[in-house]
Amino acid sequence: MSMPAEILAHPAIWRGNRPVAVSSPSLPTGFPALDAELSGGGWPTAALIEILPQHEGIGELRILGHALSRLTAQGRFLVWIAPPYLPYAPALRSACIDLARFILVKTRSPRETLWASEQALRSNACGAVLVWPQAANYAELRRLQIAAEGSPSVLAILFRSPQVARETTPAPLRLSLATAHGELAVRVLKRRGAPLVNPILLSPANRRVQRLSFTHHAVDRARFPSPAARIIPAGVNAV
């Protein structure tokens, strides 16, 4: 006996192949292929998002670029907590992130990192909180998840190492980033709704770098360079 249609249309019933409705608004990622696979059509807000890049420098920040620049354009603040390297200001400017809305927090221990993250998420003053926790167990992440749920519309992102993919996480969304044939392969390890088997391939932005030619060199020499600079020792290739 089949169920009547009006019972199946009830919002509390979820059928396995439909995306799950989310309560807080989602931020578009800027990649339509990724938006289609995320419930809500974008980055979920008021929830933790875990990003596990296989290597550094494959584009783990560039997939957030669109959402972050939209947030700063709306006047909301970005807080980056304990990043592994210095965020480079001119590059952030090129990515259309307003530097007046950027706050960098340096911490001295994993405990301070987690405390600062909780403060930033609970304060409801930030548009996005990006954290690089060196070490965090399930209970501590659960606290961050609860803090994120308390602030509607905050984008909370944790960058962790790929080894933690085997551990459980309270974050509703977990992505693993890798490269495949020069393209960025995003594997959705965990999301609200049905699991995704195939990775999503996104074309990276660095292809456009190869087409740039460096015709402008920044050469600013003193009038009388020191004589030692003119000597090229043997054995070094001159380009």
Partner 1 sequence: MSVAAASALAPQLNHRPRDPGIETAALAAIAIWAAQFTPVVSLEPPAGLLLEIEGSLKLLGGIDNVLQSIERGLQDMGYTAAIACAATATAAGLLARNGGSRVVIERSALEPVIAALPVTVLDCETSTRNTFAAIGAKRIGDLLRLPRDGLARRCGPRLLDTLDRALGKLPEARRSFTPPERFEVKLELAAEVMHSEALLFAAKRQLTQLAGFLAARGAGIQYFTFTLLHEVQNATVTGIGLVAPTRDLRHLITLTRERLAALTLRAPVRALQLTAGDIFTLAAGNYSLFQGSPHARGEWQQLVERLRARLGQDAVHGISARPDHRPEHAWYATQPGTKNMAIETRPRPLWLLEQPQPLPAIVSKPHYHNDALALIAGPERIESGWWDGADARRDYFIAQTPAHSTLWIYRERREPFGWYLHGIFG
Q: Which string of x and - marks every residue 108-147 that binds partner 1 (by CB under 8 A)?
A: x---x--xx--xx--xxxx---------------------
Q: Which string of x and - marks every residue 167-206 that binds partner 1 (by CB under 8 A)?
A: ------------x--x---------------------x-x
Q: What angle do CA 154, 157, 161 make, to 5 degrees?
A: 170
**CB 161 → partner 1: shortest distance, Å?**
15
CA 100 to chain centre: 20
By the 8 A CB rule, do 78 and 27 touch?
A: no
CA distances from 239 to 11, 217, 228, 232, 236 (A): 66, 14, 19, 12, 9
**CB 85 → partner 1: shortest distance, Å?**
4
Q: Which string of x and - marks every residue 22-61 that binds partner 1 (by CB under 8 A)?
A: --------------------------------xxxxxxxx
By the 8 A CB rule, do 232 and 238 touch?
A: yes
Residue 122 token pair: 């609970």
Residue 180 token pair: 């495949």
Which residues make up the interface to partner 1 (CB under 8 A)? 54-62, 77, 79, 83-95, 99-108, 112, 115-116, 119-120, 123-126, 179, 182, 204, 206, 209-210, 212, 214, 216-222, 228-229, 233, 236-237, 239
